[in-house]
Amino acid sequence: MGRPLKIKKSTTSDIGFNPFSALTNPIYPSDPTTFDGTEYLGVVGGANANVATTAYPVVKCRAFITGTGAEADAYIITQKGTTKYQVATVTAVNDEDMVVGQAYRILSVGTTDWAACGASDSNAAVGDVFTATAAGSGTGTVQNVGTCVLANQADTALTAGNMNITFSTGDSTAQLISKLTNKFALDYSTPPVRYLTNFFSDEGYEIKSGTTGAANVTGQQNRVSLAIVENFTS
């Protein structure tokens, strides 16, 4: 099984991919020409301490984590399979509202005795994921965590255990992703259409390697359009 959405980790947070300015002899896209050395190549996964920052955006999704009763805005923590991800919802949950048997990610430590709630030890920190064995009684907060699968289900129509990730091209209406890597996305067409993914532009295209670059025809994709993946930034 591959790990197509690469998540780069650091000692301080999950920071995604290096900017062009940090690469050796960076090569910029020729169409469009709006990328510069401060911007990032590819999709950024993972979750840093503040969910996301302008410098290190993370992939936004909608997820219906089983046991939570409803779908919500979420982001990817890590990948479990080609279309399966561990995700955390964005909304904070008070420690006293935790449900035994449900997985959570610590959002704020507060005065909560996390070891008594099921965390691995009393030195629990922001970002730790654990399964609750009891509700808390302090000031700490958590986020719901679960494993969900990409589905061809729009917002407000997700069913338990499923999630979606949205992208747009050429200022078009949002579309759903059937598979996401750090460089490309596939839609739900038959056969699926491939898009180059980033957080900065949905204009223009790149020529697919090994083709003439002529306009696309049925069964032959010569030009790969750019797509913006929905993202969280602070």
Predicted local confidence at residue 6, as pLDDT: 59
CB 43 within 8 A of CB 4: no
pLDDT under 70 in the chain at which residues? Answer: 1-42, 44-56, 234
Predicted local confidence at residue 3, as pLDDT: 46
Predicted local confidence at residue 23, as pLDDT: 63
Report the amino acid identity of residue 154. Answer: A
Predicted local confidence at residue 220, as pLDDT: 74
pTM recorded for the entire structure: 0.80
Predicted local confidence at residue 18, as pLDDT: 61
Predicted local confidence at residue 214, as pLDDT: 76
Report the amino acid identity of residue 195. Answer: Y
Any idea of the CA torsion for 141, 17, 194, 171, to the nearest 10 degrees? 70
Predicted local confidence at residue 39, as pLDDT: 61
